[in-house]
Structure 1
């Protein structure tokens, strides 16, 4: 069940439901425009962008709506929660690593009445193939190839007072990511236009120099070199090609309208730009991947993995967690822990 569905499953009248839905769309629109305020200057920007934002929100709502309820993150559940056991190497690591989050500490400072925080736990997921012992058909092989999965760089960047509030914020952050993808296309177009215009100026200058070799007193008395007809033809063809490429980008006077369309194109097709996959794996107590046909003891996990455009080649696993205020380590303890490896 998605966020928009949860928002509309209320006892109030349908009018209130629509208002809530429109509130989310309006906030999404404001966040997109905040990334590039000039979009407001494009003709019909609000109508066009609102439609694209609504389409993205529906898709993102479906993605986040499939996430399971936030799991309790603490050392106490480490032995029994397969995911927490896989994410953290030891029970004490749960509070230690999460307490490093400035956003989490700030949340508890800003919400003095909150006993717990709902948060997104993000981690870099690393898969390695190593040689080790493996039981196959009752025989233990010492040189078997094993796949291990480890989690590092634990980060908490988004917090909420409730599960619903957290999911709503996730959807809006993902919308911002899509908008930034559209703006990256805008930046690429601007850079391409600048390169083409510089190239056009250089080509025209070169053409003028070649043409001038065929005029003036030098040609009368034979002191100047004749222009190469083949070179002239090549330059003229390059100028024509350059003009065609510039024409494809449109006029500079239409740039704002084109910027809006590029952002909307991404928002209209969020599935093509937001890569979140579900990985089904079986891990033993040492985070070694166990084949489904194996009789070895293992826990089945559903891992959600995202590819972040800003971090090419890196896989980030994420999960929704609940972290209690009482488990938050005091700052002096965190400082002592940070200094310990240096002693």
Structure 2
């Protein structure tokens, strides 16, 4: 690189559309950051780095799967996650995102969404052949997927993946503001403790005032020493939190700190499960009929942190219950 190229080289992250969109989401979460000096220029490189990492994770997710009750019997993935075909219709109907999206897009026949679920492993006792003998108390691991939700609908796979990247960056900003709130809560607690220490110091001073020092406890000096140490520790802890007047810079720096560690904040790991028709975890070398199910577990930067099994699904309008699941449930109750 020539000297002139080096002199005039600029970080192009600030000119990227995806970075500008992410900055807009960040300042929506933390509006005071707008008041920080050169906040866009300072945030843009970190935002670009985070987007690049998150985009790689999102791009690695498999192609969309048709989440339709009609495919349940032939699709081992759907059978693993949904107990029955009706379970698929129920989850679709319970998704306000799905129902609202189809309501707003009258001409659309399909929508793409994220299916998230919590992987649950339970120890159960089942009847099985073990050592040539049929036993009824063989310990096995049963796999289940609880709290299934379909969210973030879009008209195409690409649009959904792009929105997912932006939402994850937005979640990073939420995590940063959660840290700021925790810091402020700690500051309030320390200030209350400081007021309590000051009151105790006054009381201790009165105990040694005038002639009362003749009958005061012999350990008065020791009490004063311990109290003074507590006061100094309190002041040091408050000083470490910084000045309240620097709150805007603190917010910006906290966001930068979170964006600077995207690999630690979010990850997606693939796990292959060998399952039989009862969703029991099997040995891959077993002779019993089974299917290998590859699931993607995303560790999300939420409070508290969560790990969810995620995949992209395609939903057909014809599979959305009329009026959503609530209408169907009310109809069953009437009948």
Unpaired segments of 5 or more residues in structure 1? 1-17
Q: Distance in 1 between matches of 2:326 and 2:168?
A: 31
Tell me by how many angstroms 1:140 deviates: 3.9
Tell me by how many angstroms 1:272 deviates: 1.2
Q: What corresponds to 2:7 in structure 1? A: none
1:16-165 correspondence runs (5 A): 22-136=16-130, 139-165=133-159
Distance 1:79-1:336 versus aligned 2 partners, 3 A rule: closer
Q: What corresponds to 2:276 in structure 1? A: 284
For the residue of structure 2 that corresponds to 1:232, the secondary structure is: helix
* 1:181 correspondence with 2:201: no
Question: TM-score, normalized by length of structure 1?
Answer: 0.86
Q: Is the 8 A contact 1:132 1:144 kept in 2?
A: yes
Q: What corresponds to 1:294 in structure 2? A: 286
Question: TM-score, normalized by length of structure 2?
Answer: 0.88
2:236 to 227, 235, 244: 244
Q: Deviations over 1:293-323 (max 9, x none)?
A: 2111111111122345657586532211001
Q: Deviations over 1:153-196 (max 9, x none)?
A: 32112111000000011111111222211111111111111111
1:316 to 293, 296, 308: 308
Q: Is the 8 A contact 1:118 1:160 kept in 2?
A: yes
Distance 1:252-1:313 versus aligned 2 partners, 3 A rule: closer
Q: Distance in 2 between matches of 1:237 and 1:171?
A: 49
Q: Distance in 1 between matches of 2:148 and 2:108?
A: 23
Q: What corresponds to 2:327 in structure 1? A: 335
Q: Distance in 2 between matches of 1:81 and 1:159?
A: 22
Q: What corresponds to 1:11 in structure 2? A: none
Distance 1:22-1:254 versus aligned 2 partners, 3 A rule: same
Distance 1:195-1:73 versus aligned 2 partners, 3 A rule: same
Q: CA RMSD in A?
A: 2.6
Q: After superposing the two structures, state which structure 1 stretch, 281-290 or 304-313, moved more.
A: 304-313
Q: Deviations over 1:20-39 (max 9, x none)?
A: 98111111111111111011
